[in-house]
Amino acid sequence: MAFGKALAVAAIVALTLVLLLRTDHDYASARKVSPNKEKHIPQLGLGTWLSDRDEVAHAVEYALDNGYDHIDAALVYKNENQTGKGIKASGVDRSKIWVTSKLWNSDHRRPEAEAAIQKSIADLGVDYLDLYLMHWPVAFVPEEGTRLDKDTSIVDTWRTMEDFVRQNYTRHIGVSNFARAQVQAILDVCDICPYAHEFETHPYLQQQDFVDWHRRADVDIKVIAYSPLANTNPTYRDKKGSLVDPIFKDPFWTKLAKAKNATVVQTVLAWGMQRGTVVIPKSTQEKHIAENRGALDIAFSKGEMREISKRDKKVRMNDPGKSWGVKLFVDLDDPTSFDGEDIEL
Protein backbone atom coordinates (compact mmCIF):
# COMPACT_ATOMS: atom_id res chain seq x y z
CA MET A 1 0.00 0.00 0.00
CA ALA A 2 2.76 2.41 0.97
CA PHE A 3 4.62 1.48 -2.23
CA GLY A 4 1.52 2.35 -4.29
CA LYS A 5 1.23 5.74 -2.64
CA ALA A 6 4.90 6.39 -3.31
CA LEU A 7 4.40 5.61 -7.00
CA ALA A 8 1.43 7.98 -7.15
CA VAL A 9 3.43 10.77 -5.53
CA ALA A 10 6.31 10.16 -7.93
CA ALA A 11 3.98 10.34 -10.91
CA ILE A 12 2.56 13.69 -9.74
CA VAL A 13 6.06 15.10 -9.22
CA ALA A 14 7.12 13.92 -12.68
CA LEU A 15 4.07 15.49 -14.30
CA THR A 16 4.72 18.77 -12.48
CA LEU A 17 8.32 18.80 -13.70
CA VAL A 18 7.19 18.22 -17.28
CA LEU A 19 4.81 21.17 -17.06
CA LEU A 20 7.45 23.40 -15.53
CA LEU A 21 10.03 22.48 -18.14
CA ARG A 22 7.83 23.17 -21.15
CA THR A 23 9.58 25.51 -23.56
CA ASP A 24 8.48 29.00 -24.52
CA HIS A 25 7.59 27.56 -27.92
CA ASP A 26 4.96 25.36 -26.27
CA TYR A 27 3.25 28.47 -24.95
CA ALA A 28 3.64 30.59 -28.07
CA SER A 29 0.04 30.17 -29.19
CA ALA A 30 -1.18 31.32 -25.79
CA ARG A 31 0.99 34.45 -26.02
CA LYS A 32 -0.26 35.63 -29.40
CA VAL A 33 -1.44 38.95 -27.99
CA SER A 34 0.31 41.87 -26.36
CA PRO A 35 0.04 41.66 -22.55
CA ASN A 36 -1.57 44.15 -20.18
CA LYS A 37 -4.29 45.16 -22.61
CA GLU A 38 -6.50 46.32 -19.77
CA LYS A 39 -4.75 49.71 -19.93
CA HIS A 40 -5.63 51.28 -23.27
CA ILE A 41 -3.73 54.02 -25.05
CA PRO A 42 -5.49 57.41 -24.67
CA GLN A 43 -6.93 58.82 -27.90
CA LEU A 44 -5.26 62.22 -27.52
CA GLY A 45 -1.59 62.62 -26.72
CA LEU A 46 1.12 65.24 -26.81
CA GLY A 47 3.72 64.75 -29.52
CA THR A 48 7.31 65.87 -28.92
CA TRP A 49 8.92 65.56 -32.37
CA LEU A 50 10.72 68.82 -33.21
CA SER A 51 9.81 70.29 -29.82
CA ASP A 52 12.52 72.72 -28.74
CA ARG A 53 14.63 71.34 -25.89
CA ASP A 54 14.20 74.60 -24.01
CA GLU A 55 10.39 74.42 -24.24
CA VAL A 56 9.42 70.76 -24.18
CA ALA A 57 9.75 70.25 -20.42
CA HIS A 58 7.24 73.00 -19.67
CA ALA A 59 4.96 71.81 -22.48
CA VAL A 60 4.86 68.29 -21.04
CA GLU A 61 4.34 69.54 -17.50
CA TYR A 62 1.55 71.88 -18.60
CA ALA A 63 -0.15 69.17 -20.66
CA LEU A 64 -0.12 66.63 -17.84
CA ASP A 65 -1.36 69.23 -15.36
CA ASN A 66 -4.23 70.09 -17.69
CA GLY A 67 -5.82 66.77 -18.49
CA TYR A 68 -3.40 65.02 -20.84
CA ASP A 69 -2.32 61.49 -19.93
CA HIS A 70 -0.33 60.45 -23.01
CA ILE A 71 3.17 61.54 -24.06
CA ASP A 72 4.76 60.40 -27.34
CA ALA A 73 8.57 60.51 -27.39
CA ALA A 74 11.55 58.98 -29.20
CA LEU A 75 15.27 58.67 -28.62
CA VAL A 76 16.08 60.29 -31.96
CA TYR A 77 14.10 63.43 -31.03
CA LYS A 78 17.02 64.26 -28.72
CA ASN A 79 14.77 65.76 -26.05
CA GLU A 80 13.70 62.77 -23.93
CA ASN A 81 15.65 64.00 -20.90
CA GLN A 82 13.73 67.29 -21.04
CA THR A 83 10.49 65.41 -21.61
CA GLY A 84 11.32 63.41 -18.50
CA LYS A 85 11.81 66.61 -16.50
CA GLY A 86 8.34 67.70 -17.54
CA ILE A 87 6.84 64.38 -16.47
CA LYS A 88 8.52 64.65 -13.08
CA ALA A 89 7.58 68.30 -12.57
CA SER A 90 3.92 67.58 -13.24
CA GLY A 91 3.67 65.42 -10.15
CA VAL A 92 1.15 63.17 -11.93
CA ASP A 93 1.40 59.58 -10.76
CA ARG A 94 3.30 57.40 -13.24
CA SER A 95 0.46 54.87 -13.40
CA LYS A 96 -1.82 57.59 -14.76
CA ILE A 97 0.42 58.43 -17.76
CA TRP A 98 0.91 56.59 -21.04
CA VAL A 99 4.51 56.99 -22.23
CA THR A 100 5.67 55.89 -25.68
CA SER A 101 9.24 55.83 -27.01
CA LYS A 102 10.89 54.44 -30.14
CA LEU A 103 13.87 52.38 -31.23
CA TRP A 104 16.04 54.21 -33.78
CA ASN A 105 17.38 52.59 -36.96
CA SER A 106 21.00 52.33 -35.80
CA ASP A 107 19.96 50.40 -32.68
CA HIS A 108 18.27 47.37 -34.25
CA ARG A 109 20.91 44.87 -33.15
CA ARG A 110 20.27 43.34 -29.74
CA PRO A 111 23.10 45.00 -27.71
CA GLU A 112 22.37 48.46 -29.12
CA ALA A 113 18.61 47.96 -28.75
CA GLU A 114 18.88 47.11 -25.06
CA ALA A 115 21.14 50.08 -24.42
CA ALA A 116 18.71 52.32 -26.32
CA ILE A 117 15.60 51.33 -24.39
CA GLN A 118 17.48 51.62 -21.10
CA LYS A 119 18.59 55.13 -22.07
CA SER A 120 15.04 56.17 -23.01
CA ILE A 121 13.67 54.86 -19.73
CA ALA A 122 16.39 56.67 -17.76
CA ASP A 123 16.04 59.94 -19.68
CA LEU A 124 12.26 59.91 -19.37
CA GLY A 125 12.60 59.26 -15.64
CA VAL A 126 10.22 56.31 -15.61
CA ASP A 127 10.56 52.70 -14.47
CA TYR A 128 9.04 51.29 -17.65
CA LEU A 129 7.45 52.33 -20.94
CA ASP A 130 3.85 51.72 -21.89
CA LEU A 131 4.75 51.32 -25.55
CA TYR A 132 8.03 50.88 -27.45
CA LEU A 133 7.96 51.15 -31.24
CA MET A 134 10.34 50.13 -33.99
CA HIS A 135 10.65 53.63 -35.44
CA TRP A 136 11.20 52.56 -39.06
CA PRO A 137 11.41 49.18 -40.82
CA VAL A 138 15.02 50.03 -41.65
CA ALA A 139 18.24 49.01 -39.89
CA PHE A 140 21.48 50.98 -40.04
CA VAL A 141 24.92 49.62 -39.21
CA PRO A 142 25.73 51.02 -35.75
CA GLU A 143 28.00 54.08 -35.80
CA GLU A 144 28.13 54.13 -39.61
CA GLY A 145 25.55 56.79 -40.41
CA THR A 146 22.79 55.59 -42.69
CA ARG A 147 24.65 52.61 -44.16
CA LEU A 148 22.05 49.87 -44.34
CA ASP A 149 22.43 46.83 -42.09
CA LYS A 150 21.35 44.02 -44.41
CA ASP A 151 22.08 41.32 -41.84
CA THR A 152 19.45 42.44 -39.31
CA SER A 153 15.85 41.89 -40.40
CA ILE A 154 12.72 43.45 -38.93
CA VAL A 155 11.88 40.00 -37.53
CA ASP A 156 15.27 39.83 -35.79
CA THR A 157 14.58 43.23 -34.23
CA TRP A 158 11.04 42.21 -33.29
CA ARG A 159 12.35 39.16 -31.40
CA THR A 160 14.60 41.49 -29.42
CA MET A 161 11.66 43.77 -28.64
CA GLU A 162 9.55 40.83 -27.49
CA ASP A 163 12.21 40.17 -24.88
CA PHE A 164 11.85 43.77 -23.68
CA VAL A 165 8.27 42.97 -22.69
CA ARG A 166 9.43 39.83 -20.88
CA GLN A 167 12.10 41.91 -19.10
CA ASN A 168 9.47 44.47 -18.04
CA TYR A 169 11.15 47.34 -19.89
CA THR A 170 7.86 48.01 -21.65
CA ARG A 171 4.27 46.86 -21.36
CA HIS A 172 3.63 46.85 -25.10
CA ILE A 173 5.58 46.89 -28.33
CA GLY A 174 4.66 48.05 -31.80
CA VAL A 175 5.85 49.43 -35.12
CA SER A 176 5.99 52.73 -36.94
CA ASN A 177 6.10 53.71 -40.62
CA PHE A 178 5.60 50.14 -41.86
CA ALA A 179 3.98 49.08 -45.12
CA ARG A 180 1.11 46.62 -44.85
CA ALA A 181 3.21 43.67 -46.00
CA GLN A 182 5.82 44.47 -43.34
CA VAL A 183 3.19 44.52 -40.60
CA GLN A 184 1.89 41.20 -41.86
CA ALA A 185 5.40 39.74 -41.79
CA ILE A 186 5.55 40.51 -38.06
CA LEU A 187 2.04 39.15 -37.46
CA ASP A 188 3.00 35.90 -39.16
CA VAL A 189 5.74 35.15 -36.62
CA CYS A 190 5.08 37.16 -33.45
CA ASP A 191 4.75 35.60 -30.04
CA ILE A 192 4.02 39.02 -28.53
CA CYS A 193 2.26 40.85 -31.32
CA PRO A 194 2.15 44.57 -32.14
CA TYR A 195 -0.13 46.61 -29.92
CA ALA A 196 0.06 49.74 -32.06
CA HIS A 197 1.28 51.11 -35.38
CA GLU A 198 2.24 54.77 -35.56
CA PHE A 199 2.28 56.29 -39.03
CA GLU A 200 1.54 59.48 -40.92
CA THR A 201 -2.16 59.94 -41.59
CA HIS A 202 -4.30 63.07 -41.80
CA PRO A 203 -7.01 64.56 -44.06
CA TYR A 204 -4.54 64.91 -46.94
CA LEU A 205 -3.28 61.29 -46.54
CA GLN A 206 -6.26 59.43 -45.12
CA GLN A 207 -5.39 55.80 -45.95
CA GLN A 208 -8.73 54.78 -44.47
CA ASP A 209 -8.52 51.24 -45.87
CA PHE A 210 -5.17 50.81 -44.14
CA VAL A 211 -6.55 52.24 -40.89
CA ASP A 212 -9.53 49.88 -41.07
CA TRP A 213 -7.28 46.90 -41.84
CA HIS A 214 -5.59 47.35 -38.46
CA ARG A 215 -8.98 47.06 -36.76
CA ARG A 216 -9.76 43.63 -38.22
CA ALA A 217 -10.10 40.87 -35.65
CA ASP A 218 -7.14 38.96 -37.09
CA VAL A 219 -4.92 42.06 -36.92
CA ASP A 220 -6.16 44.03 -33.86
CA ILE A 221 -3.58 46.83 -33.83
CA LYS A 222 -4.19 50.38 -32.60
CA VAL A 223 -3.36 53.15 -35.08
CA ILE A 224 -1.51 56.23 -33.87
CA ALA A 225 -1.66 59.14 -36.31
CA TYR A 226 1.44 61.30 -36.31
CA SER A 227 1.35 64.65 -38.09
CA PRO A 228 -2.46 64.52 -37.69
CA LEU A 229 -2.68 68.17 -38.77
CA ALA A 230 -1.10 67.51 -42.18
CA ASN A 231 1.14 70.35 -43.38
CA THR A 232 0.80 72.72 -40.43
CA ASN A 233 4.40 71.77 -39.54
CA PRO A 234 6.81 74.29 -41.15
CA THR A 235 9.09 71.39 -42.11
CA TYR A 236 6.33 70.11 -44.37
CA ARG A 237 5.11 73.47 -45.67
CA ASP A 238 8.56 74.30 -46.96
CA LYS A 239 8.85 71.01 -48.85
CA LYS A 240 6.25 68.47 -49.90
CA GLY A 241 3.48 70.19 -48.00
CA SER A 242 3.69 73.07 -50.43
CA LEU A 243 1.90 70.88 -52.97
CA VAL A 244 -1.37 71.50 -51.13
CA ASP A 245 -2.90 74.46 -49.30
CA PRO A 246 -2.18 74.67 -45.55
CA ILE A 247 -5.02 72.77 -43.93
CA PHE A 248 -5.91 75.63 -41.58
CA LYS A 249 -6.61 77.75 -44.68
CA ASP A 250 -8.46 75.04 -46.60
CA PRO A 251 -11.99 76.39 -47.38
CA PHE A 252 -13.60 73.01 -46.71
CA TRP A 253 -12.08 72.74 -43.25
CA THR A 254 -12.61 76.38 -42.31
CA LYS A 255 -16.31 76.03 -43.19
CA LEU A 256 -16.67 72.78 -41.27
CA ALA A 257 -14.88 74.23 -38.24
CA LYS A 258 -17.22 77.21 -38.24
CA ALA A 259 -20.20 74.85 -38.29
CA LYS A 260 -18.76 73.07 -35.25
CA ASN A 261 -18.02 76.36 -33.47
CA ALA A 262 -14.42 75.21 -33.22
CA THR A 263 -10.98 75.88 -34.69
CA VAL A 264 -9.76 74.01 -37.75
CA VAL A 265 -7.17 72.26 -35.60
CA GLN A 266 -9.80 71.05 -33.13
CA THR A 267 -12.01 69.90 -35.98
CA VAL A 268 -9.26 67.97 -37.77
CA LEU A 269 -8.16 66.28 -34.55
CA ALA A 270 -11.76 65.33 -33.75
CA TRP A 271 -12.09 63.72 -37.17
CA GLY A 272 -8.89 61.78 -36.56
CA MET A 273 -10.26 60.34 -33.35
CA GLN A 274 -13.72 59.57 -34.72
CA ARG A 275 -12.24 57.64 -37.65
CA GLY A 276 -10.50 55.33 -35.20
CA THR A 277 -6.99 56.71 -34.73
CA VAL A 278 -5.06 58.04 -31.76
CA VAL A 279 -3.81 61.56 -32.48
CA ILE A 280 -0.61 63.08 -31.10
CA PRO A 281 -0.38 66.76 -32.14
CA LYS A 282 2.86 68.46 -31.19
CA SER A 283 2.84 71.84 -29.50
CA THR A 284 4.86 73.74 -26.92
CA GLN A 285 2.38 76.61 -26.61
CA GLU A 286 0.03 76.51 -23.62
CA LYS A 287 -2.82 78.02 -25.64
CA HIS A 288 -2.60 75.37 -28.34
CA ILE A 289 -2.13 72.48 -25.90
CA ALA A 290 -5.27 73.53 -24.04
CA GLU A 291 -7.27 74.19 -27.22
CA ASN A 292 -6.43 70.79 -28.68
CA ARG A 293 -8.37 69.10 -25.89
CA GLY A 294 -11.50 70.75 -27.28
CA ALA A 295 -11.39 68.14 -30.04
CA LEU A 296 -12.71 65.61 -27.53
CA ASP A 297 -16.09 67.38 -27.55
CA ILE A 298 -16.68 67.40 -31.33
CA ALA A 299 -18.60 64.74 -33.28
CA PHE A 300 -19.48 64.28 -36.95
CA SER A 301 -22.48 62.82 -38.72
CA LYS A 302 -22.08 59.97 -41.20
CA GLY A 303 -22.68 62.45 -43.99
CA GLU A 304 -19.95 64.74 -42.75
CA MET A 305 -17.54 61.82 -42.52
CA ARG A 306 -18.34 60.87 -46.12
CA GLU A 307 -17.68 64.42 -47.29
CA ILE A 308 -14.33 64.49 -45.47
CA SER A 309 -13.33 61.21 -47.13
CA LYS A 310 -13.70 62.91 -50.52
CA ARG A 311 -11.01 65.47 -49.58
CA ASP A 312 -8.19 62.95 -49.47
CA LYS A 313 -5.26 64.26 -51.54
CA LYS A 314 -3.00 61.22 -51.02
CA VAL A 315 0.00 63.45 -50.29
CA ARG A 316 2.64 62.10 -47.91
CA MET A 317 4.69 64.71 -46.06
CA ASN A 318 7.36 62.60 -44.33
CA ASP A 319 9.42 60.22 -46.46
CA PRO A 320 13.17 59.77 -45.88
CA GLY A 321 13.30 56.71 -48.13
CA LYS A 322 15.23 58.33 -50.97
CA SER A 323 18.03 59.60 -48.73
CA TRP A 324 18.31 56.16 -47.12
CA GLY A 325 18.17 54.26 -50.40
CA VAL A 326 15.06 52.37 -49.32
CA LYS A 327 11.62 52.22 -50.91
CA LEU A 328 9.16 52.84 -48.09
CA PHE A 329 5.34 52.53 -48.01
CA VAL A 330 5.45 50.37 -51.15
CA ASP A 331 1.88 49.08 -50.85
CA LEU A 332 0.38 52.36 -49.56
CA ASP A 333 -0.57 55.74 -51.00
CA ASP A 334 2.29 57.96 -52.15
CA PRO A 335 5.20 55.50 -51.74
CA THR A 336 8.84 56.51 -51.96
CA SER A 337 9.87 57.70 -55.38
CA PHE A 338 13.54 57.93 -56.21
CA ASP A 339 12.68 60.51 -58.87
CA GLY A 340 11.20 63.06 -56.46
CA GLU A 341 12.29 64.91 -53.35
CA ASP A 342 12.06 63.14 -50.01
CA ILE A 343 12.10 64.59 -46.53
CA GLU A 344 14.46 63.36 -43.84
CA LEU A 345 13.12 62.80 -40.35
Has 77 been annotated as catalytic? yes
Is residue 182 assigned to a domain? yes
- Find the range with the poorest average confidence among 50-54, 216-220, 260-264: 50-54
Closest to 173 in 3D by CA, of 185, 184, 163? 163
pLDDT tens digits, one per residue of 268-278: 999 999 999 99
Is 48 inside any structural domain?
Answer: yes
Residue-wise pLDDT for 293-330, tens only, equals 999 999 999 999 999 999 999 999 999 999 999 999 99
Average the pLDDT over 96-106 and give the result.
98
Residue 23 pLDDT > 90: no
Is 81 a member of any domain?
yes
Q: Which of 16-20, 167-171, 335-339 has the highest mean pLDDT?
A: 167-171
Confirm or deny that 135 is annotated as ligand binding: yes
The domain that contains 66 carries what CATH number? 3.20.20.100
pLDDT at 246 over 60: yes
Q: Is residue 248 part of a domain?
A: no
Q: Report if residue 342 sits inside a domain.
A: no
Q: Which of 77, 132, 169, 195 is catalytic?
A: 77
Structural domain includes residue 327:
no
For residue 70, being part of any structural domain is answered with yes
The average pLDDT across 188-204 equals 98
Q: How many domains does the chain have?
A: 1
188 vs 235, residue with greater confidence:
188
pLDDT of residue 5: 46
User: Could you tell me the pLDDT band of residue 13, with boundaries at 50, 70 and 90?
Assistant: very low
Give the domain range for residue 199: 32-230+276-284
Which pLDDT value is given to residue 6? 47
